[in-house]
Amino acid sequence: MKKNLLMIGSRASALAVAQTEQCMAQWQHLHADLVFEHKTFTTTGDRLLDRSLSQEGGKGLFIKELEEALLQKKIDVAIHSLKDVPSELPEGF
């Protein structure tokens, strides 16, 4: 990634996009030297509309793709709603 680029990832939901835009605006105000880009992800939780999420893995289903993007350095920061984050995070987070 470019040195002055901060790639921010979030779900593609309207709430996640709005939260990310608010964060980006605040960060841009504080760090005018940085360029911010937003990449959206459709997560497993977003795709599993026909069954119980708790049977498929629960809250982590809404952040798995974002965690993978962080580990693969495709994004620098992930924006989540706390309700989507499991109480125990995987190793490395």
Q: Hey, which residues are catalytic here?
A: 84
Integer Cα distance of 31 and 6 in angstroms? 11
Q: Is 75 exposed, middle or buried (0-12, 13-18, 19+ CB in 10 A)?
A: buried
CA atoms within a 13 Å half-sphere pointing along the CA-CB vector of 79: 25
